[in-house]
Chains A and B, each alone.
Chain A
Amino acid sequence: MVVSVSVSVNGQPYKDQLEPRLLLVHYLRDHLGLTGTKIACDTSQCGACTVLLDGVAVKSCTCLAVQADGAAVTTIEGLAAPGTLHPIQEAFWNKHGLQCGFCTPGMVFATHELLRQNPNPSADAIRHGLEGNLCRCTGYQNIVRAVQTAAAAMGGRR
C-alpha cells in the first residue's frame, strides 16, 4: 500500500507515492538524498533529526512522511542559501559549538525553535531549551555560547 504525499522541502515541491510507515527522516535522507538530517537514536531522545515543519521544529524520526503532506519542510541544507550561513550556523562556527558535527543540524534547528519562542533567552533558559538534544562532544558549554551569540546577532528577530 502506498499513499500519495505532496510536500515542499527547502522550497522545492515533491510528490511521491510512499509507504504509510515511512518516517519523515527516512524520506528526507533516503528518498530525497538530503542526508544533512541525522539519525542518532530510535526513541526521540537525541534530537539529531530535528527539522522545521511549517516553521516549527520537529524530530523527524517521530513524524511519518505522510504527516508532512501539504507542509513545508526545512532541512539543514535549506536553512541558508548555498555558500552562506544563517546567523545560528555562523554563531556555532564562531563559538566552537560543534566538534564531530553529528548532532549539529539538530542543534541548529533546536536553537531556531528556542529563539523563535524566546528571542533573548538567559543561559539557563538555553540549557533548558536544549535538553531535548544530545551532544556527546562539546559538554554543551560552547553551544550555549553559540545560542547567546546567535540571539544577539539576530537582534531579537524571530
Chain B
Amino acid sequence: MSARIFGSAIRRREDPRLLTGTGTFTDDISLPGMVYAAMLRSPHAHARIKRIDTTRAKGAPGVLAVYTGADTAGVLKPMPCAWLIPNSNLKVAEYPVMARDVVHYVGDVVAVVVAKTAYQAFDAVEQIDVDYTPLDAVVDPQKAAASGAVQLHESAPGNVAFHWTVAGGDTDAAFKKADVVVKDRIVQQRLIPTAMETRSAVAQWTAASGELTLWNTTQNPHIVRFIGSIVTGVPEDKLRVVAPEVGGGFGSKIPQYPGEFLTAFAAMKLNRPVKWTETRSENFVATTHGRDHVQEVEMAGTRDGRITGVRATVWAGMGAYLSAAAPGIPTILHGLMLSGPYQIPAVHEDVYGMYTNTTPVEAYRGAGRPEATYMLERLIDRFAQAVGKDPVEVRRTNLIPPFTNGHTVSTGLAYDSGNYSAALDKALSHIGYPALRKEQETLRKQGRYLGIGVTTYVEICGLGPSQVAGAVGFQGGLWESAIVRFHPSGKVNVFIGTKPHGQGEETTFAQIVSDELGVDVNDIKVVHGDTDKTPMGWGTYGSRTTAVGGAALVLAVRKIKDKAKALAAHLLEASVEDMDYADGRFFVKGAPAKAKTIQDIALMANVAWNMPAGMEAGLEASSFYDPPNFVYPFGAHVAVVEVEPDTGRVVLKRYVAVDDCGPQINPMIVEGQVHGGVVQGIGQALWEEAVYDDRGQLLTGSLMDYAIPRADLLPDIEVLSTVTPSPHHPLGVKGIGEAGTIASTCTVYNAVIDALRPLGVNEVPMPLKPERVWHAVRAARKGA
C-alpha cells in the first residue's frame, strides 16, 4: 500500500492555470458588446448633496448612460444587513446603493457612468458636477459616542448601532477581592484588507428570459445570489452568480456591495453586458476595512498569578453603514472568546458598535478573535509584570488543562478539544526559551534590547451550527453541502457550495475523496463558485471551508462507498455483510484477488445493465452537513525581536508558530496558510494602519501610504504543529486559515514591549513604526 494521500504534501491541482495566466478572474472576462462602468464616489466624509449635474458627462465621448440615486431609488433595494445580533438594541441605518441626499463617507457612490471603453468612463466621471454642503465628520468610534458628536443617522441616536453585552461569573466580586488589578487602553487600529485583486463585476442581462448572470469577486456566491435577488428583484432561479478565480479576500469579499448591483442595474437598463472593476485607490475607500476597536480593559488576579476576572468596554467602529456581517464580528466572534485558553471564572464585556464617517468595517482575517486574543495577551503580560512572574509561568498557571471532548468556559461556549500546554511546551522547547532569556540578559548588559513575546491562543471557527447562527441573529444557515458524481470512466466531479480563493481545496478536497475511495487525485475535479452548477452553500470565511464543507464532502463520499459496496456484493454474488474494502477495491472478505474496483462499480452503476433489485442507477451522492459545534483550533506562538532604541527600529529575528488544527490533509497547504496568516498579523503589529484625518479623509489611500508587508522585512516563519482531533468532525479536522493572524499581532507586540521594558516603556500605539518607538523611548528617558 502506498503512502496515505490524506496527510500528503502534494502539489496543488489549481496551480498550473494560475502559473500560466490562464485562470480567469472577473476582470479577465470579456463578452460581446460589453461596455464599462465607473463610479463617482464622494470626496467628502459627510456632506449634503445640493445638486448633481450630469449634462457634461452624458455628452462626453463614448458615454451611454449616467445614473444617480434618483434613477436607482425604488428600483434597487437598500443593502441589507445580514447579521442582526439580538438583545442589542440594533439600529440598522438605511444603506442605499447610491447616496441621494447625504453622503456618509469618502467612497459613498454618488453616480455611475457607463461608456464604450473604461478610459471613456473614467474621463466622463470627471465631468459630473456635484455641489456638496460639507458637514462635520466623526471618525473615532469612542469620540462618536461622546455627547455633542456629529450624528450620522437619525435612526441611530448617539451614533450607536448596537450595545451588546456578554457576562459570565461574578465579575464585580472578582475585582473587589483581587490582589492585583491591571488596566489597559488599547487601540486596535483600523486595517485595510488589500487583497491583491480589487473587486470587480461583470453583469449580463437576457431580457427575453429575465435572466441575469453576475460574475463577481466574492467569497460566497450563493449569498450574493440570495442578497442580490432581494436588492435587484431578479428571482433567485433566474439569477446566476459566478465567482471565477478570486484573488484573495481576507473577509473583504464576504459582504455584498453597491458596485456589483449597480453594474447589474446598468446591464439591465442598457440591455448589454457591463463590466466594472475597482481601481486600487477606489478599493482603499470602497472595500470594507477591518478591526477599529478602542478597548478599555482590566484584569483581576491573585498575587500568586491566578487570573480571576476580565472586564472590558469596547467601542467598535462600524463605519458609515452596517456591512452585511459587521455586527457579529466585535460581538459573537470577539466577546464570546474573552477568556481564551485560560480558566477565567468571571468575564464581562460591553461592546458599543458605533457609526462613524468612514468606510464600513467588516470581517478581516481573524475577524474579532485577533482583537480578543490581543486584549487578553496584553493584559496577561501586564499582570505577569505586576505579580513579578515570568509571562510564560502565568500562562501555564491559568491554561485550561487538556481535554478531548468538551470544555465549557465562562462565556458559555463549549470548546471541542484542546491541549494548550502541549503547544506551549513545543514552541518554547523549539525556540530554547530559558537560553533566550539568558541571552536577553547578556545583551541588555551590552546595551542591546532583545524582546521575547509568547502567546497562547484558542479561536472559534468552522462556522457553525445553523441553530446557533439563528439564535445569534445570522440571517442564514451555516451548513455546507457537497455533491460527488462518478462518471462512467470512474473519473469524479465534486461540486461544493464553498468558494476557495487561494486556500487550495481543489487539492485537499480531492485528497479527501481519494483517501476514502482510492481514486487518484488527478481523476477528481472540484467544481466551485457557480450557483448554476454547485449546490447551495454559505461560502468561504471563518475558516469553515474544510471544517464544514470538508465534512459535507466526506459524508457524501461515504454514501457512495456504501452504495458501491452493495453493488459490488451483487456483482460478486455475495452478501453486503461479507464485503470488505481496501485501496479502492471491494471484495469478499478473505478473497481480495477477486475484486471490483471503484472504477468497475462506477461503470456498472452508470450503464446500469446489472443492478440489484431496487437500486437506483448512477453513482452520485449529495450531503448536507450542519456541524453540531464550532471547532476550536489553538496554539502557541513565540516572537523574538531586537529593538534599536536610538532609531526606534524593530527587527523581527525569529518567529515560531505552533498551531493545532487537528489532522492535516495537506501539511504543505497548512504551512502556507500559517505563513500568510502570521505575516498579516505581523503587518498589524509593525506597519499597517488606516489613517483618517479629523474630516474623514483617508490619508493612507494607496499602496504608497498603506504599508502591507514586503518580502525584505520578514524572517522565515518556523512552523510546527500538534495534532488534537476535533471530537465532532467526521475527519477530526479544524480550520487553519486565520490562526496565524489571530496569534501573531500580540506576539510581536509583546516581544517589542518586552524589549523596551528596561527602558521604562510599557506601551506604544500600534503599529510599532520606528518613529513611535523612538518617541516612546525618548519620553521614557525624559521621564526617568
Contacts and interface: CB of A to CB of B under 8 A. Distances in A.
A80 interface: yes
A65 interface: no
Secondary structure of the B side of the interface? Answer: loop
Given A45-B704, A100-B197, A131-B711, A93 B12 contact: yes
The 6 lowest CB-CB distance pairs between A and B, nearest first, are A36-B21, A101-B18, A102-B247, A100-B502, A139-B679, A76-B21
Nearest to A123: B716
Interface stretch (B349-357, B551-559, B603-611, B668-676): B668-676
B147 interface: no
Interface of B: 11-12, 14-16, 18-25, 27-28, 30, 118-119, 194-198, 245-248, 250, 279-281, 501-504, 668-669, 671-672, 675-680, 702-704, 708-712, 714, 716-717
Contact of B504 (A21, A26, A48, A99): A99
A62 to B, nearest CB: 13
Nearest to A125: B712
A130 B196 contact: no
Given A40-B196, A96-B12, A138 B676 contact: yes
A43 B675 contact: no
Given A35-B27, A43-B280, 14 more contacts: A35-B25, A35-B28, A46-B280, A96-B672, A98-B15, A100-B246, A100-B502, A105-B21, A136-B195, A138-B676, A139-B675, A139-B680, A141-B675, A144-B711
Contact of B501 (A46, A100, A123, A127): A100
A63 interface: no
Given A34-B21, A80-B20, A100-B197, A41 B717 contact: no
Contacts of A108: 19
A100 B252 CA distance: 14
A45 B706 CA distance: 11
A137 B502 contact: yes
Nearest to A131: B712
A134 B503 CA distance: 18
Q: Which of B27, B702, B703, B717 has the most CB of A within 10 A?
A: B703
Interface of A: 19, 21-22, 26, 29-30, 33-43, 45-46, 48, 75-77, 79-80, 85, 89, 92-94, 96, 98-105, 108, 123, 126-128, 130-131, 133-144
Nearest to A93: B15
Contacts of A30: 30, 118
A101 B247 contact: yes
B668 A103 contact: no
A126 B246 CA distance: 27
Given A43-B703, A101-B245, A144-B711, A138 B675 contact: yes
A39 B21 contact: no
A99 B245 CA distance: 11
Contacts of B16: 85, 93
B19 A130 contact: no
Given A98-B19, A99-B504, A135-B196, A42 B279 contact: yes
Q: Which of A105, A126, A130, A140 has the most CB of B within 10 A?
A: A140
